[in-house]
Amino acid sequence: MKRIQIINGPNLNLLGKREPTVYGNQTFDTYLQELKVLFSDAQLDYFQSNTEGSIIDKLHEAGFSYDGIVLNAGAYTHTSIAIADAIRSITVPVIEVHISNVFKREEYRHHSYLSEACKGCIVGFGMDSYRLAINAVLNFK
């Protein structure tokens, strides 16, 4: 069974309430249940933190044993060299995910410190971005 760690960063605990015109109405917990049904043959572990160091600790913890990590680092995407270094420090491939199309938004969201350290990026498909990322991990050769 493939094991995938999903990591959500700051403010993503408020999905469903937070800026619904940008991020939709669904809570991540509800969506996660759907993902678990859809990918019943995989183990999906979920972690969310609003703190940069806790995200780094989770990357270190999962980063040598899982089959893939699906990471939405929220605004840390655009600021965190430390998270980028953590991604470079581990062996498990990381897929960067964004719910919104960051390239259609403010210019400060156009740059990601993480992308070049990641295996790939999925951006702008709403919550479905996570499903696409999990699918990608399941198809890793």
How far apart are alpha carbons 48 and 46 in whole angstroms? 7
Binder of ligand DQA out of 2, 11, 46, 57 (CB under 6 A): 11
Q: Return the structure tokens found at 105.
A: 């938004």
23, 31, 66, 76: the active-site residue: 23
For position 115 contacting ligand DQA by CB under 6 A, the verdict is no
The tokens for 82 are 């430390």
Task: At 102, give phi and psi (nearest 5°).
Answer: -60, -25
Asked if 124 and 100 count as a contact pair (C-beta separation under 8 A), the reply is yes
- Determine which one of 76, 98, 113, 130 is catalytic: 98
Q: Could you say whether residue 50 binds ligand DQA (CB under 6 A)?
A: no
Residue 60 a catalytic site member: no
Q: Which residues are designated catalytic?
A: 23, 98
Binding positions for ligand DQA, rule: CB under 6 A = 11, 72, 74-75, 77, 98-100, 102, 109
